Chains A and B, each alone.
Chain A
């Protein structure tokens, strides 16, 4: 009988701290083939994986099947299995919070059927997925993607983030002519502008987008839907339109947010992604506890800034990955848990000079189910800094769809039906612009689902 290897999880090699804090190169170096095969052999290939890791995966990758192929050394077959559902294994392997998804439901770690904690460490599914994607990309193997004959339908896609790319993939595969309209100079949405190169090398994104180009998808940059062309014009020119503009609009709303060197997270990250000059910053306070806050911290550290992360809750209740908190702490970030920012303090010339905060304690659960942070009286903390970055929530940018008065929720997200159709016939949406902001993999999944619904709509429309 095969011995279950509960504990000897193979970790990815990381670049040394002193080296990685000086470069935007990726610091998680990935598996060698022997490590990947060894890690794959830890998987016990559960027969009821659909109730475990596969259910934990938002896009339901057939995890045991692809891992068994790695164990056999058949990486190309593993790639085919993953890409049946997840078209971007190299990306999802890097950016998914696996400990709360597939790995959180790995039987070695947690028995989801019995609902109880198990004694071991989960199979490193994320690193294996990344390995498979990277292996195929680096080998120069051209995966064969079957594309159906042209059907004569034309679809316009607004935005080029994960939902849009997922939608484009599904439609292009079905023989639909797809054109993607992106306002900004680079394609990929949050994957380009929101995730620093140190976590997701831009060349990987470029590779994945090139795959779509080879499938016939046309991309246009510099076109601001709602300004350069109206959504109404698009609707008239194309058989259907998909809105995948994400929910990237930054958020402010703290006293003193108009001082010089107060940035929304997206402004801070976009400056870096585009390589635009920034004001000289020595000490930065980043407000927030999610992925975006961690990504801002990763970037700030690499610019040599003394980096403070200020979060009103605890590490356990934050939405960022556990290992990423470890990484930025190793790199020198100073993390202020249970600390609520109250006011940005400026100097006489209008520049930021400090952040005034209060310490918090955890109280009763709030509507999100997490313990509500409660302010500790007389617990003021002053963090000296010359810049503040607000990574505290996001909302959809309405300029693409405001002219058509599409129905929105009170949070400004688009209302869609069960087929991802908006309140106007022929206009579809999914991803963050609908769900308000979640993971790349969820946007990818919903984009693909919307693509399938759009195809059915096009066929049905033709019949009518």
Chain B
């Protein structure tokens, strides 16, 4: 059982939630969890932005959304609530690196995914952040968390990123599949890792709902990801299968 300890309104469209959970608080960098907010059966996956196993606390971001499921959580989550069900930590933790020049790129609540990785890699690497501001999330909203980065640059769109001329050994991004696709094009000679956004159902590698085409083969982001090499992802297949299906599901929920 996970209990909501605290909900901080970072902006009108972004909230930071602290959960008390013995298991989730042991999350490794880059892992996520599954939440079933109420008795309704729908499950959503959320990044564990930070985890403190000594205090049994895990932190995550939630952003206002057109998806009624996310919207319900965003509007109603309150301190003292016991979440109906949580599962995790899930997914493979992000690997450790040393002496790398790393660019993190974040859009929307994808920051919740990269933060724990950046925090972990910071002591032994140079870490920059390119923050893509949107109507929903601005870098200002997360100012208290930006001090772990060596440099922070703001951008107004995904497509403005190609103006950056700096060299990096590695790019790590989260928040949008389009962002990952664009970065894979911009950073042709650099490793680009992204957290794929797909519809996850079982999150333990059984149901194949999250499957993507990766380097010509089937890949399951729920257990083999979520952090994958963006250059190996078939984004056309990903967008077709997952975004259209997700839109259909949202329509169903509204309907």
Contact = CB atoms under 8 A, between A and B. Distances in A.
A270 interface: yes
Interface stretch (A7-15, A17-25, A275-283): A275-283
Interface in B199-255: 201-209, 211, 213, 218, 223, 237, 240-241, 244-245, 248-249, 252-253
Interface string B90-105: 1110000000000000
Contact of A277 (B205, B223, B237, B253): B253
Contacts of B23: 222-223, 228-229
A260 B87 contact: no
Residue of B23, B34, B208 most packed against chain A (CB within 10 A)? B208
Interface string A257-281: 0111101101100110011111110
A332 interface: no
Nearest to B238: A258
Interface stretch (A30-38, A84-92, A246-254, A434-442): A246-254
A250 B211 CA distance: 11
Given A222-B23, A277-B252, A279-B245, A184 B87 contact: yes
Given A260-B244, A276-B201, A279-B245, A252 B208 contact: yes
B98 to A, nearest CB: 23
Given A185-B85, A277-B42, A267 B207 contact: yes
A277 B209 CA distance: 13
B125 interface: no
A131 B248 CA distance: 43
A contacts with B: majority SS: loop
B244 A349 contact: yes
Contact of B85 (A222, A267, A277, A398): A222
A50 to B, nearest CB: 38
A224 B206 contact: no
Interface residues of A, number: 37
Given A183-B87, A227-B88, A276-B42, A264 B208 contact: yes
Given A184-B202, A227-B31, A258-B213, A221 B208 contact: no
A349 B245 CA distance: 11
Given A227-B31, A280-B248, A250 B85 contact: no
B56 interface: no
Contacts of B36: 185
A227 B237 CA distance: 27
Contacts of A351: 244
Task: State which size class the interface on B falls in.
Answer: 35 or more
Interface in B66-91: 85-91
A258 B249 CA distance: 17
Nearest to A277: B252
Residue of B87, B90, B237, B240 most packed against chain A (CB within 10 A)? B87
Given A185-B87, A276-B41, A224 B203 contact: yes
Contacts of A349: 240, 244
B208 A267 contact: yes
Contacts of A271: 201
B88 A228 contact: yes
A430 B245 CA distance: 37
A250 B204 CA distance: 12
Nearest to B32: A227
B20 interface: no
B41 A275 contact: yes
A277 B199 CA distance: 12
A350 interface: yes
A232 to B, nearest CB: 14
Contacts of B43: 185, 274, 276
A397 B86 contact: no
A192 B90 CA distance: 22
Residue of A221, A227, A261, A276 most packed against chain B (CB within 10 A)? A227
Given A278-B252, A279-B252, A280-B248, A266 B87 contact: no
Contacts of A399: 204-205, 223
Residue of A271, A280, A399 most packed against chain B (CB within 10 A)? A399
A228 B86 CA distance: 11
A275 B92 CA distance: 27
A152 to B, nearest CB: 24
Nearest to A262: B241
Nearest to A222: B87
B2 to A, nearest CB: 9
B88 A224 contact: yes
Given A185-B36, A227-B88, A266 B245 contact: no
A51 B206 CA distance: 39
B204 A183 contact: yes
14 contacts: A183-B202, A183-B203, A184-B202, A221-B87, A227-B31, A227-B89, A227-B91, A227-B204, A259-B241, A267-B201, A267-B208, A270-B201, A274-B41, A351-B244
Interface of A: 183-185, 221-224, 227-229, 248-250, 252, 258-261, 263-264, 266-267, 270-271, 274-280, 349-351, 397-399
Ranked 7 nearest A-B pairs via Cβ: A222-B87, A275-B41, A267-B207, A350-B240, A264-B208, A183-B204, A274-B41
